[in-house]
Amino acid sequence: RNLYIFVIYIPPKTTTDTYEKLFFAFESMYVIYDSDIVVVGDFNLPNYINNTTLTEQSPLHLLNNFINFYDFHQYNNILNHNNRILDLVLSNVRCSVFHSSDVLLPEDPHHPALLIDFFVPNNVKRIRTQLSSNINFRKANFPALYHG
């Protein structure tokens, strides 16, 4: 099995349409089906902890559909200073999430520093990195190409 790790940031006050496009993009990636997946990030859904206000096309409803589609669990239970969870840890592999005291920068009260441990089975394929060359079109002499 492959392991895919995604990090997401969704700005505050993002429209429902944008959430819908994001989750549709995930569902369109057939290559990640039958894989181990970890999705972490700031979804900026302050009502997630008490998702009682689900309407048919709310971002919370779309998030719950996304979680169910991939059989994810939400593993982060660390509340911020407003007793909310903005940073979600979604996965179909077993995870443990802790509040980290070892931080590089001053902690943002909206986003507690997290330490995430997840179980990686031995049968996960390791990706070998290969050097590749990139073409830099900015260095091309376009006038010479057009008038050559």
Closest Cα to residue 13, out of 44, 40, 42?
A: 44
pTM: 0.76
pLDDT at 147: 72
State which residues form the domain around 62.
Answer: 3-146
Check the CA dihedral 103-47-94-119 and report its sign: negative
Q: State how far Cα 25 lies from the chain centre.
A: 12
Where is mean pLDDT largest: 30-34, 44-48, 51-55, 112-116? Answer: 112-116
- The count of residues in the chain is 148
User: Residue 83 is encoded by which pair of tokens?
Assistant: 């007793």
Q: How many domains is the chain partitioned into structurally?
A: 1
Which pLDDT value is given to residue 148? 61
Q: How far is CA 5 from the centre of its chain?
A: 7
> In which band, very low, low, confident or very high, does the pLDDT at 2 lie, cut at 50, 70 and 90?
confident
User: 3-class DSSP state for residue 131?
Assistant: coil
Report pLDDT digits (tens) over 35-70: 999 999 999 988 876 445 566 668 998 999 899 999
3-state DSSP assignment of residue 114: strand
Question: Token pair 């979804």 is at which residue?
Answer: 43
